[in-house]
A and B are shown apart, each in its own frame.
Chain A
Amino acid sequence: MTENKKKILEMLADKKISVEDAYRLLGVIDADEGGQESTPKVEPGAKARPKYLRVNIIPDPDAVGGSGDRVNVRVPMSLIRAGIKLTSLIPAEAMDKVNGALKDKGINFDVRSVKSEDIEELIEALGELEVDVVSGRGEKVKVYVE
């Protein structure tokens, strides 16, 4: 095992990098070494693609003044993908207005710079999303993909 591979595995053990990053880096090292040293092969895409975005809100059963709404939403990732791609249909004039409104809010971002490759990357990245919040009122909010 080379020094570089050891470093990558140490970084992975320390949770400084993700499994995907480690796999990619190991692949680069393998390619550089011409495949002289064998590493366990992991099928690309072995991790199942996320299919749904889930949002669960569970109210506190002991809350004063009655419990809040219980929310359970499941949104297909394909719908999110289609929704994001709809941004390409926004006319240029409207895009300028959107950019202006974002700038007014202090967000310096050009909506036109979002490309389809970025969208795919964004959706792939959503696969690792997990939000777990317990509010002060005892409500539990959970956002994750499955």
Chain B
Amino acid sequence: MNRPPMLMHVKIRGENSNFGLWLPLFLLIPLALVVLIILSPLILIGILALWPSGWGKLALLALWAAVVSFCSLRGLKVDIQGPRESVFISVV
């Protein structure tokens, strides 16, 4: 698994407005971890309750897949420049 991304840069330029944001993901990761730890008993109960139906395993795998997908975002770059608008997203 890759290292999680540290920063996300979003820049949107319109005809009348400019919007730029540096999102410090490295600050959000500890926050997400804390939330995950707090919610972990509920998540565990939910998974155990759903386990006999097969959805519990799926939920667990989905949780892991979400983490892997998030970590894979590092290096993503989307740059679309139109005549009037432009969108730039970069994950580093």
Seen from chain A, the residues whose Cβ lies within 8 Å of a Cβ on chain B are 51-52, 66-76, 78-79, 81-83, 85-86, 88-89, 91
Tell me the complex Cα distance, A89–B82, Å.
37
B74 touches A89 (CB 8 A): no
Interface string of B58-78 (1 = CB under 8 A from A): 100110010011011111111
A71 touches B80 (CB 8 A): yes
A73 touches B62 (CB 8 A): no
> Is B40 in contact with chain A by the CB < 8 A criterion?
no
Seen from chain B, the residues whose Cβ lies within 8 Å of a Cβ on chain A are 2, 58, 61-62, 65, 68-69, 71-83
B74 touches A82 (CB 8 A): no
Tell me the complex Cα distance, A73–B89, Å.
9
Per DSSP, chain B at the interface is: mixed
Query: A52, A73, A82, A86 — which one has the most chain B CB atoms within 10 A of its CB?
Result: A82
Given pairs A71-B80, A73-B79, 9 additional interface contacts (CB within 8 A): A52-B75, A69-B82, A72-B79, A78-B71, A78-B74, A85-B65, A85-B68, A89-B61, A91-B58
Tell me the complex Cα distance, A51–B78, Å.
16
A69 touches B76 (CB 8 A): no
Tell me the complex Cα distance, A89–B64, Å.
11
Tell me the complex Cα distance, A85–B67, Å.
13
A86 touches B65 (CB 8 A): yes
A79 touches B76 (CB 8 A): yes
The minimal Cβ–Cβ distance linking A120 to chain B, given in whole angstroms, is: 15
Tell me the complex Cα distance, A85–B1, Å.
13
B76 touches A75 (CB 8 A): yes
Residues from chain B with a CB closer than 8 A to the CB of A83 are 69
Residues from chain A with a CB closer than 8 A to the CB of B81 are 69-71
